[in-house]
């Protein structure tokens, strides 16, 4: 069943047809005009009330359809999650940084929702997986301690902003020390710094780095600092790359954002899948509400090397691989079918949301659908979709499923 899905025009999205979201929308629905000055940030696939998908041929919301067709969800998913699609599937196209944020654990999400329902809208956790479609930049997890120490030694402007006690303890710490104990006071001091001090520190740092040679600028992340500051002048989040891993993902590489892991997407296009939630605790690079006490308290202060943060798929067969996070809410399958071939998706006990990202051909469940980029299909539990590329073409699709 083909779906009409909701586009979100958030300010940070890529503009017009620079956006993969807009390209997919335009390809699947040529009658929709793309505005070159408008941001096309996210395509939402699923039943989340802020962007529900509709079954085109029936003119009915997917959320309504499954209430009347329990077989679409399947007994295993119903037993675990009830009558719902428990994940939200997205395409993101990012022009400028999203906020530095983390997502609470399930119990913490329930507590935040109960105590601050206006700020934390639902009681669900929000683990998420991002798979790069184009070169993709992100900040993710705290760096190894020695890297942060080196930055603070070379950036006295930043070190002088922070409480002397926290910095002295931190710089005296050996690499094998407990980052949870020594890093939290430093990060707390950073995040609670006076706004005028942050702004003047950023100004002084940018002025100094501007005069350095290119290798020094590169090693001290000047190009990134300058770009973040242009978009978010005076924002404490501009300094976060000195504390968090700056990652450049190639297409097909992925990161899994477990609860309490600090992160921020900076640029590029990705497939994203998450638990069906909108729970975010923000810390910077945003005009939205920042909840510093909650964030500083909940964060995972472990140090990560970049390779620890890459999340690799498992091969399922010669056409497909699957990213299976350690949560029951979702997994994502990538399927590629070459010209002259045909492929039946694996029989899953879960409902699926499937988006064609490249190629041309046909997708058939009970009725054939023209398969082209941007076409989104809902597949009932225990059903298979036959993918047949057109002559001389391939098909590449991403399929979100429950991880049960």
Give the DSSP letter string of 58-121: TTEEHHHHHHH-GGGT-HHHHHHH-SS--EEEEEEEESSPPPEEE---HHHHHHHHHH-TTTS-
- Show the tokens assigned to 347: 């029989």
Where along the chain do its domains lie?
A: 2-139+249-287, 145-243, 314-401
Kindly tell me the sign of the dihedral angle through the C-alpha atoms of 265, 115, 259, 355. negative
Q: How far is the CA of 131 from the CAs of 6, 126, 269, 391, in angstroms?
A: 20, 16, 9, 28
110 phi and psi, to 5 degrees? -65, -40
Which residues are annotated as catalytic?
282
Residues found in the chain:
404
Kindly tell me the sign of the dihedral angle through the C-alpha atoms of 159, 162, 164, 166. negative
Nearest to 334 by CA among 355, 365, 349: 355
**CATH code for the structural domain at 314-401:** 2.60.120.10
Beta carbons of 363 and 369 less than 8 angstroms apart: yes
* pLDDT, one tens digit for every residue, the chain (404 residues): 999 999 999 999 999 999 999 999 999 999 999 999 999 999 999 999 889 999 999 999 999 999 999 999 999 999 999 999 999 999 999 999 998 988 877 776 677 667 776 666 666 657 899 999 999 999 999 999 999 999 999 999 999 999 999 998 898 876 556 777 889 999 999 999 999 999 999 999 999 999 999 999 999 999 999 999 999 999 999 999 999 999 999 999 999 999 899 999 999 999 999 987 666 778 788 777 778 888 888 899 999 999 999 999 999 999 999 999 999 999 999 999 999 999 999 999 999 999 999 999 999 998 899 999 999 999 999 999 999 999 999 999 999 999 98
- Show the tokens assigned to 386: 């036959």
- Whether 2-139+249-287 and 145-243 share one fold: the answer is no
Beta carbons of 253 and 266 less than 8 angstroms apart: no
**CATH code for the structural domain at 145-243:** 1.10.441.10
CA–CA gap between residue 404 and residue 401 (Å, rounded): 9
CA–CA gap between residue 135 and residue 253 (Å, rounded): 9
pTM: 0.93
Beta carbons of 369 and 28 less than 8 angstroms apart: no
Nearest to 378 by CA among 53, 76, 95: 53
Q: Which CATH superfamily is domain 2-139+249-287 in?
A: Jelly Rolls (2.60.120.10)
């Amino acid at each position: 069943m083909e779906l009409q899905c909701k586009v979100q025009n958030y300010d940070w999205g890529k503009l017009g047809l620079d956006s993969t979201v807009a390209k997919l929308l335009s390809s699947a629905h040529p009658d929709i005009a793309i505005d070159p000055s408008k941001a096309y940030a996210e395509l939402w696939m699923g039943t989340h009330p802020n962007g529900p998908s509709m079954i085109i041929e029936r003119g009915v919301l997917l959320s309504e359809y499954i209430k009347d067709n329990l077989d679409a969800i399947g007994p295993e998913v119903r037993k675990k999650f009830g009558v719902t699609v428990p994940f939200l599937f997205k395409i993101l196209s990012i022009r400028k940084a999203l906020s530095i944020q983390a997502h609470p654990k399930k119990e913490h999400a329930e507590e935040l929702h109960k105590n601050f329902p206006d700020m934390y809208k639902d009681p669900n956790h929000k683990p998420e997986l991002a798979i790069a479609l184009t070169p993709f930049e992100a900040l993710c997890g705290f760096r190894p301690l020695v890297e942060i120490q080196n930055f603070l030694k070379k950036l006295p402007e930043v070190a002088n902003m922070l409480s002397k006690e926290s910095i002295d303890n931190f710089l005296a710490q050996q690499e094998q020390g407990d980052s949870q104990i020594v890093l939290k006071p430093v990060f707390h001091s950073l995040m609670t710094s006076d706004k005028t001090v942050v702004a003047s520190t950023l100004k002084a740092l940018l002025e100094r780095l501007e005069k350095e040679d290119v290798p020094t600028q590169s090693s001290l992340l000047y190009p990134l600092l300058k770009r973040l500051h242009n978009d978010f002048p005076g924002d404490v989040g501009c300094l976060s790359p000195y504390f968090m891993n700056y990652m450049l993902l190639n297409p097909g590489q992925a990161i899994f954002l477990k609860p309490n892991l600090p992160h921020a997407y900076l640029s590029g296009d990705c497939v994203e899948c998450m638990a069906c939630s909108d729970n975010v605790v923000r810390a910077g690079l945003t005009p939205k509400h920042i909840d510093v006490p909650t964030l500083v308290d909940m964060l995972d202060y472990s140090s990560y090397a970049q390779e620890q943060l890459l999340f690799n798929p498992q091969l399922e067969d010669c056409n497909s691989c699957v990213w299976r996070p350690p949560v029951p809410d979702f997994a994502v399958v990538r399927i590629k079918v070459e010209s002259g071939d045909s492929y039946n998706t694996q029989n899953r006990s879960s409902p699926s949301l499937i988006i064609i990202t490249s190629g041309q051909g046909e997708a058939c469940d009970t009725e054939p659908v023209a398969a082209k980029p941007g076409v989104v299909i809902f597949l009932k539990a225990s059903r298979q979709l036959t993918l047949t590329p057109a002559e001389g073409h391939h098909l590449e699709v991403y399929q979100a499923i429950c991880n049960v």
